[in-house]
Structure 1
Amino acid sequence: MNETGLGRLRKLIVERYDQLKAQVAHRLGSSSDMAGDALHEAYVRLASRDDLDGVQHPQTYLINSAVNATIDRIRSDARLVSEDEIGSLFELVYDGPGPERVAEGRNQMDQVMAALDTLPPRQCSLLIDFRVHGMDTEELAQRWGISRVLVRREIQAAHKACLAAMEKLEAAKDHERP
């Protein structure tokens, strides 16, 4: 490998990297990240060549190499997925919940909300902050100005009340079913 041609390109990249990157980005109409990647890829490609001594305009040569390397990569990426593969994506089966399951989930959520509405405001807030928001009993005790023991009791009482309300709703639903 002849160092004079490659040496000039290396020196050019070191001394004018930001300017080269901006020029490549402008030519590609893209971000500077892609331009930086393009410059690195161009340098790696050029580092293995031994015919760089005859390059008359190293800056232009480097920019063109970076742009061409990016265009080659974009073309190869475009070929990664065939038309048949793209078509098969549209034939995928949706494994998500169907309308019945969505309706059932909404119904269960309504039941939970109804159970929460039966709780005293402090118990409801403590239960939600503890279970949903992940607050610990120390934080809740400080927020409400009560002891941690009382926080735990209130959460436990709220939990039991919600379970009882849910069981009552389930029992009523079971009686309605044929």
Structure 2
Amino acid sequence: MANEQGALYFYRTHRASLIDYARVITGSQAEAEDVVQDAWIRFDRAFDGDAVRQPLHYLYRIVRNLALDGRRRALIAGERQGDDLADLVNAVPCERPTPEAQAIARNELDHVRAALAELPERTRIAVEMHRFGGHTLMEIAQHLGVSVGLVHGLVADGIKHCHRRRMAARE
């Protein structure tokens, strides 16, 4: 299929999911779109249907690497620009959360638990292993007997579902 339809097929077919994937890493729709565009340019230059055995996996890897690089640059820039703010924040003593804040946090946790319970079992396991267990996508893939790409999709879908349920509960 890769030789017949070329690199453009993978980009067109998977663009929306690639943007969703990048958005989870970058935290921004605009940055995610930029990352996917940059990834497409790199993928198109490197694409050779015979040399790239798993072109979709390769495209996701490029998106992931670019998104993480952008995130690292933003953190470094933020550290440089936020020194004064960090000093101010660190000067304020850390206090115990108020009972109201604790109640809000417990309520949100209940909504997340309910959202997790609504997920298909495989998706729920992937999210829990990744977010709560600290397992890598590779470890989860091995545990579930599926590909890393599928695990990434399961985790992203599960997190999106929990986020939507949490936002709906706030309204």
Would you say same fold, with TM above 0.5? Answer: no
Task: Pick the structure with more helix per residue.
Answer: 2
TM bucket (normalised to shorter chain) is 0.3 to 0.5
